[in-house]
Every structure is written in structure tokens, then in C-alpha cells.
Amino acid sequence: MLKLRAEALYEATHREYRLYEKQGQQISTFYAENVFGDAEMRSDLSTEVYERLINCIVRGEKIDHDTADAVATALKSWAMARGVTHYTHWFHPLRGATAEKHDSFFELRDGSPIERFKGSALVQQEPDASSFPHGGIRSTFEARGYTAWDPSSPAFIYEIANAKTLCIPTVFVAYTGEALDNKAPLLKAIHAIDKAATAVCQYFDKDVQKVTVSLGAEQEYFLVDKALFMARPDLIMCGRTLFGHSPSRGQQLSDHYFGSIPRRVTNFMVEFETEALRLGIPVRTRHNEVAPGQFEVAPQFEELNLATDHNVLLMDIMERVADKHNFRVIFHEKPFKGINGSGKHNNWSLITQDGRNLLAPTSKAKENLQFLTFLVCTVKAVHDYADLLRASIASANNDLRLGGHEAPPAIISVFLGNQLSSVLEELEKNANVKVGKGDNAYLKLGISKIPEIILDNTDRNRTSPFAFTGNKFEFRAVGSTANPSVPMTVLNTAVADVLCQFKMQVDKELEKEEKKEVAIINVLRRFIKQSKNILFERDNYSNNWVDEAKKRGLNNFKTTPEALAAYRTKMSKALFERHQVFTPIELEARTHLLLDEYIMKVQIESRVIGDLALNHIIPTAIKYQNKLIENFNGLKQMKLDTKYVQGLITDISQHIGLIHQMVTDMTEERKRANGLDSEINRADAYCHQVRPFFEKIRYHVDKLELLVDDADWPLPKYRELLFLR
């Protein structure tokens, strides 16, 4: 039931605070209490089983029956001791956040009830998966797919109300072998970059055996009171406001950022953070964001696969806990026009098995050459595969954010900071330095100076879509609703590919050059030359950059249909196939799904705009207009001045007429779009023929909002959505 604005406002301003019983407890006393982590495995599994399992995790080996049975039995006892009755394979389908199907441990054996959990049920399940999106890989009559345990992400207990479920992270794969989820390709990309980065590390340190990827995902979001949310059909249906005049006070005063957090919001944060911490999600940072009503939560970084599971789980927890505090969390990239959008900054780096960050400069010259190698290879990867990175963050939502208020543009570029940029310039210029047998190569090549320059010298550029921030890169263009595995799969595959190129070229150099350092520098120099036009240090938000980028030949794909075309190129298919991340079929299926999703989103928004305009806005305006006409007649009878009222009536009439006309035209365009045969044509039509109506219709609706009596206006206004607590 849709709420009335007045009723919703009353409710929103008369809320009681919800307090949370765990408030104030030390985090270390409950951290990860709901996770079957390393400590639990060690204590609950025999040494032999534990070691076999760890081998499977570290080396990606297959799990045998006996190990699986032993782990399942231990998991069951651990979970049952905590009141768990059901288990589920938990996975990330291609659309929507996560999926689960709960089965209970309980079964009847010869009529007697017992609790059982076999290794086979742990390792593999066959959910009836016909309704999960697959992009054409399976037709419904052969809807067979299976979920398979991912032992590298620990099982956890998820509590909803009083039901406790053991969740087992899994991948979701078709019987024909194609991935039907977001985790399987991510794991493959992680494997690809591990292999490539480890091989490159061998030039510097023979002891490196494994390189892992780290991710720290900063999550931005808005909070809106639940009653007000429920009074906005556009928020309910689309996750964003389709109408709404900007408030007289927006974020001009910049008084929200890092400001004090309202009490009701703090209570919400404490509760969801605690729930997250109990699940081993190491959330650490909370603060207000730039826009009113906008906030951020950031965990400490973790291994990429785990960090991704944690981000997806965190979003789910936030939604559930928000409800208890009578809030709605809005993860949409651009819920309010004219106000900051929300991103999910993906902080990314590479770390060796003994914890050394390959993207952190140190005070040792040798390590710095390694640092420069990984830095330059990453820059080249972004340069070579910029279009794929753009595709990886493309969605109807993010199109609204990119290039808007306080968000990076759709042009992919890299920010390194002045100091580091000049280091690369020097390196590039410093051609043909002769390094003799007894020379200190690092000194001669100017590398021994680098550490002092870089350490402590990380300036920030918050306008860049991809910025180096001292010891990691930050992919800032990623949208707030995104599953991080999508951009991370592309980024890691791209960097893996360049690392392979690097190794090949260095090995070639080594055939004619005996000094390893010189060979490496020669290749780096070449890479810098080839990729330096992706580097940009100044304001990415400025119009000058748009012009300059064009001159540099950098793409600026403003819309999703344009951006997704990159996935379908030869280069893209070759890249993902080379590293065994996606087969061409999988890639095509994903592109298909993304286009389809785009079409559906724009279609739904267009329908909601039509409904709202015709059934809410126009009737309200007419009602008010009738009052004005009555007033006009009265004034006329009394021979008083009617000019103002008449003008108002005319204005309202004009807006109503135009809205009605445009909604009719938009509906026609929609019909035409639906009739087109290919998906890409439909997506283009929705993008270029249907979507442009949104802003035009909105303009007149927002004008009416200013004209119509405030008491009659049906939708909660921006000032109410954004500033109420």
C-alpha cells in the first residue's frame, strides 16, 4: 500500500530510537563468531584432514570424498551447537546479489528423525536453477546447473529473525561447464594474475611462490526514512527518484561531509557493523559522505574473493538491519538528481605470500624496481584495456552517475601523482644509460633515488576514475550497486595479461643484454611510452579534460550500450580466452544479459514515469487548478484583480498539456523499441529514443511541484527525503 505523504511525514518525524543489545561490547569478543574459519578448522578437524583441506585451498586441488565427509561432519556439529537447523549453498547469480535455497539437516531414516550432512551435500548441489539468468547458455528444458563448494571462502552462519542457516559459499556452473555466476570467473582471474605476477616476481625474489590480490571496497549509500520511501513509487520500483525539485538547500554548504552522524543513523550503523563483524567482515570506517543523507562504510582490505563475498553479504545485512531502524538503504548510483551519486571504490593491490605489498614503494632500490614494474604494468593494462574496464562498470544506474556531480567521467584515465609521474618521465627519458659490469645498475639508472621521492608523497586526486593512492590503486568509477567481482575480474585479467607480455619481453631482452635490471628498465621504458597517454593528473571533472581526452584518442562512452560493445570485440574474446577466464560463449552470454538488464531498467523507469505523471501528478495539478478556477470566479465576481490567478492557471495548463503529450510520445517510442528485432537495436532505442524523454518530462513535473499547493503534493519532496532524521 502506498503511503500518503502527510502520513509518512508524521511517521518519519515521530520515530523512537532502536537500541541494540550488543552496543558497547569490545569487537574482539565477538568478531567472526559465526564463521567456520581457520581456528575452527584447526580445532574441529583432524590434523590430516585440516592439512588436506588447506592444500586444496592454497593450491586449488580437488577435494576427495573422505576429506569432504570429514569437513561436513565437523561443520554440522559446529553449526548445530549454535542452533543451526538448515544449510544452503550460497552463490552470486548473474543478476541480483546472492541466491540461496535452504535444506534442513533433518531427514527420516526408517521413520526416525536424524540430522545428517554428507560430504557430497557440502561439495555439490543441484539447485533447480531454471529461473536464474544465464544469457542463453541454457534453455529452460535443460536447466541443469550445479553449485560447487568454494573452500577458499569460509562457511558462515546467517541469522535472520530466529532462523539460523549454515551458508556455504559456492560457484554456480552449468552442466556443460560454463559459469553461471560471478564468482567462478573471479576465481579464474585470481588464478591468472597469481600465475603471471609470481612469474614476474621471480626476477626480483626467487622465494615468491604466490601472489594474492587484495580488495578494500568502500561502500557508499543513502538512508531514507522507511515511511517516506514507501510514499515514493519511483524509489520502490526503480531505487531512484524520477521526479523531485532540488531543495533550496542542497550540498552547497558542504556541511555534511565528515559531519557528526545523527543518532538514529549511528544506532543503525552500530547494529549492522556488529552483525557484519560477527560474520568476520572487518568493517572499520564509518562517516557521512558529501551529500545530505549519504554515508560510507569501509572494511579493512582482504583477499579479493573473500572481500567480494563480504561486500555482497554486507549489503544484504545493511538492508535487513535498516528495516529494523525504519530506514531504507539506497545503494543506487544516482538516487537524487543534482546530488552526489554513490560509488564503491575498489582499492586494489597485489601481495606476496609473506605479506609484501607489490604496489608499496620501499626504501630498498631493488624492491623499488619491482614496485615500478607492477605499477607500470598496471598503467599499461588500464591503457590497453580501458574500454573493457569501462564496460565492466557499465549499467543504466552508473550511466547517470559517471560524469555527474562529484563522480569520475566515463573516460578511463590513471592518476599517479606528480612525484610518481615525474619518476616515470625520468625513466622514459633516461634512454640508453650504459651500465658496465662493475656498475651499480640502480644508481646508474636513477632508481636508487626513487624511494625517498615516493615515500610519504601521495597526493590525492579525488576526480580520477583510477588513482594510485600510495600503496594501492583505487578504481573509483565502480558503482555502488556493483558486485565487485565484475570489475575485478576484468582488471585482474588485464593486469595478468600485461605481466605476461612483460615477462616475454624481458626474457627476449635478456638474450642480448646480460644485466637483468637493464633489460627490465628497457621494457618498462617501452611500456611507459606506449601507455602514457592514459595518465592524467588534473581535474577529471572539467570540460577541458573531455576535449583533451578526445585529442588523445581516449574513448568517452557515455552510455551502457556503447560501453558494452567492448566485450564483443576480438581483442576482448582473445584476452579472456588466453587466460581462461571466459570462453567466447560465456562472454557473449554476459553481454547479452547486461544489455537485457539495461533495456528492462529503462523500460521500467519509463513506465513508472508514465504512471506517476498520469495518475499522481496530473490529477493533483488538476485538483489544484480547479481550486484556482473557483478562486478566479470569486475574484471576478468581486471585481478584483485576477491576473495572478489567471497566469497560474495558464501555466499549470501548459505543463499538464506538455507532460501528457510527452508521456504519449514516449509510450509510442517504447512500443517501437519493443518491436525491434535485435537486442542491441532495442537497447539503442531505449537509450536514445526513450530515455531522453525522462528529463524533459521531469522538467515540467518539477515545475508543477513549485506551483501546486504544498499541502496537495503527493510525493515526499527532496528536502524531506534528504534532511529528515
> In this structure, what C-alpha cell is assigned to residue 265?
543513523
Torsion region of 672: left, alpha or beta (phi above 0 gives left; psi -120 to 50 gives alpha): alpha
Of 88 and 340, nearer to ligand ADP (C-beta) is: 340
Write out the binding residues for Mg ion, residues 585-604 only, by CB under 5 A.
none
* d(C-alpha 26, C-alpha 22), whole Å: 9
SS3 537: coil
> In this structure, what C-alpha cell is assigned to residue 23?
552496543
**Interacting stretch for Mg ion, rule CB under 5 A, among 125-133, 338-346, 561-569, 681-689?**
338-346
Size of the site for ligand ADP (CB under 6 A): 15
Total Cβ atoms within 10 A of residue 711: 8
Three-state SS for 467-485 is: EECCCCEEECCCECCCCCH
407, 340 Cβ separation under 8 angstroms = yes
* d(C-alpha 655, C-alpha 644), whole Å: 17
* d(C-alpha 131, C-alpha 670), whole Å: 26
* d(C-alpha 301, C-alpha 318), whole Å: 19
| Nearest to 119, CA basis, from 170, 83, 66, 166 | 66
Output the residue with the shortest Cβ distance to Mg ion. Answer: 345
CA-based radius of gyration for the chain:
28
674 binds, among ligand ADP, Mg ion, none (CB under 5 to 8 A by kind): none
Q: Partners of 19 in the beta sheet?
A: none
**Interacting stretch for Mg ion, rule CB under 5 A, among 115-123, 124-132, 341-349, 446-454?**
341-349
* Backbone phi and psi for residue 102, each to the nearest 5 degrees, phi listed first: -90, 135
Convert residues 459-488 into a mask of x (bound to ligand ADP by CB under 6 A) and - (unbound): ------------xx----------------
Helix (H) / strand (E) containing 97: none
Judged on CB neighbours under 10 Å (0-12, 13-18, 19+), 108 is exposed
**Interacting stretch for ligand ADP, rule CB under 6 A, among 297-305, 401-409, 485-493, 673-681?**
297-305
**Interacting stretch for ligand ADP, rule CB under 6 A, among 73-81, 127-135, 237-245, 343-351?**
343-351
**Interacting stretch for ligand ADP, rule CB under 6 A, among 12-20, 106-114, 211-219, 669-677?**
211-219
Find all residues with CB under 8 Å of 212, minimum gap 6, and list them.
Answer: 190, 194, 303, 304, 350, 351, 352, 353
* 299 touches ligand ADP (CB under 6 A): yes
CA 113 to chain centre: 44
Of 414 and 427, nearer to Mg ion (C-beta) is: 414
Output the residue with the shortest Cβ distance to ligand ADP. Answer: 216
Of 344 and 503, nearer to Mg ion (C-beta) is: 344
Q: Which of 198, 357, 421, 642 binds ligand ADP (CB under 6 A)?
A: 357
What's the min distance (Å) between Cβ of 542 and ligand ADP? 22
* 300 touches ligand ADP (CB under 6 A): yes
Of 72 and 407, nearer to ligand ADP (C-beta) is: 407
Cα angle 553, 405, 492; round to 5? 55
Q: Which amino acid is at 10?
A: Y
Q: Which of 145, 151, 185, 216 binds ligand ADP (CB under 6 A)?
A: 216
What's the min distance (Å) between Cβ of 363 and ligand ADP? 18
Q: Which of 345, 383, 503, 515 binds Mg ion (CB under 5 A)?
A: 345
716 binds, among Mg ion, ligand ADP, none (CB under 5 to 8 A by kind): none
* d(C-alpha 674, C-alpha 667), whole Å: 11
Q: In which residue are the cell numbers 618498462 written?
A: 524
Q: Which of 87, 158, 295, 301 binds ligand ADP (CB under 6 A)?
A: 301
In eight-state DSSP terms, residue 411 is B
* 214 touches ligand ADP (CB under 6 A): yes
Of 138 and 345, nearer to Mg ion (C-beta) is: 345
Of 242 and 317, nearer to ligand ADP (C-beta) is: 317
What's the min distance (Å) between Cβ of 399 and Mg ion? 22
What's the min distance (Å) between Cβ of 476 and ligand ADP? 9
**Interacting stretch for ligand ADP, rule CB under 6 A, among 330-338, 347-355, 404-412, 638-646?**
347-355
What's the min distance (Å) between Cβ of 298 and ligand ADP? 4
* 347 touches ligand ADP (CB under 6 A): yes
Total Cβ atoms within 10 A of residue 660: 15
* 218 touches ligand ADP (CB under 6 A): yes
Total Cβ atoms within 10 A of residue 714: 18
348 binds, among Mg ion, ligand ADP, none (CB under 5 to 8 A by kind): ligand ADP
CA 525 to chain centre: 34
214 binds, among Mg ion, ligand ADP, none (CB under 5 to 8 A by kind): ligand ADP
Of 345 and 601, nearer to Mg ion (C-beta) is: 345
Residues near ligand ADP (CB under 6 A): 214-216, 218, 285, 298-301, 347-349, 357, 471-472
Residues near Mg ion (CB under 5 A): 345
